[in-house]
Chains A and B, each alone.
Chain A
């Protein structure tokens, strides 16, 4: 009898664990990744001490295309102050991503995750999703989608993360 109870408890636990991972929240440590980049491997741990604006994008995602010029702008303006924009591409075919990058240049680090391991570890809910990571590797902000009216607020949060005044 005891055995049955134990088994049921194990099964129930297994079912619970099978549920989708919870989305990443502010204050948590950002999960590390090690992905192929355009030139060299892109690792989150390599950015320690920098403020990282991590952006999940795909070639088929409209708002992602709109966000690229803005992310280029952020990298140019705040790069010297310690900001690193890192775009993680989630296309299943890297060729699609490369074609996208030819049309829409990215002047920031780009990593390719065909298997979708990183978006899974961050449990992202929509495309694009951006995660702001502080120099200590903790998540400061999670933002889903990209609209024109979001720009000012996102920039404010980036500045705040780097202790910059207006």
Chain B
């Protein structure tokens, strides 16, 4: 009896945790503030491109810098 309740509780808690998987996701249409130039790490677009090129060529990684590709949000 006790065990069943415990397992049920565990399942419930786990399913609740599933709800946390979506925290921190910004909807594509809500990225207005993220797209502002002040939200980038670098000072100007050229500098930003330069740094991104280094990441892409040396570290084989790209994307995740604010709103991708100048505001398209698709990366």
User: Would B27 and A63 count as touching, CB distance under 8 A?
Assistant: no
Residues of B within 8 A of A90 (CB): 29
Whether B32 contacts A91 by the Cβ 8 Å rule is yes
Q: Is the CB of B72 within 8 A of A61?
A: yes
Contact flag A120-B27 (CB < 8 Å), given A8-B12, A15-B18, A60-B35: yes
Contact between A4 and B8, CB atoms less than 8 A apart: yes
Q: Does B46 contact A (CB under 8 A)?
A: no
Q: Give chain B interface residues in 7-51, CB to chain A under 8 Å.
A: 8, 11-12, 15-16, 18-19, 22, 25, 27-32, 35-36
- Interface of B (DSSP majority class): helix
Nearest CB in chain B: distance from A147 CB, A = 9
Contacts A63-B70, A127-B72; A58 near B16 (Cβ below 8 A): no
- B4 within 8 Å of A (CB atoms): yes
Q: How many A-B residue pairs have CB under 8 A?
A: 83
Minimum C-beta distance from A93 to chain B (A): 8
| B71 at the binding interface (Cβ < 8 Å) | yes
Point out the residues of chain A lying under 8 angstroms from B11, CB to CB. 8, 12
Contact: A63 with B71, CB < 8 Å?
yes
Asked if residues A92 and B32 are in contact (CB atoms below 8 Å), the reply is: yes
Least CB distance from B33 to A in Å reads 8
- Would you call A45 an interface residue if the criterion is a C-beta within 8 Å of the partner chain's C-beta atoms? no
Closest to A88 in B: B29
C-alpha gap A129/B73 in the complex (Å):
10
Counting contact residues on chain A (CB < 8 A from B), the size range is: 20 to 34
A63 & B12 in contact (Cβ 8 Å cutoff): no
The distance from the CB of B31 to the nearest CB of chain A, in whole angstroms, is 7
Asked if residues A58 and B12 are in contact (CB atoms below 8 Å), the reply is no
Residue of B nearest to A116 (CB): B29
Interface string of A5-43 (1 = CB under 8 A from B): 100100110010011100000000000000000000000
Chain B residues near A61: list those with CB within 8 A.
Answer: 35, 71-73
Which A residues form the contact surface with B (CB < 8 A)?
A: 1, 4-5, 8, 11-12, 15, 18-20, 56, 58-64, 90-92, 96, 116, 119-120, 124-129, 144-146
Instruction: Give the top 6 A-B pairs by smallest Cβ distance, nearest first.
Output: A62-B70, A90-B29, A126-B74, A60-B35, A62-B71, A119-B29
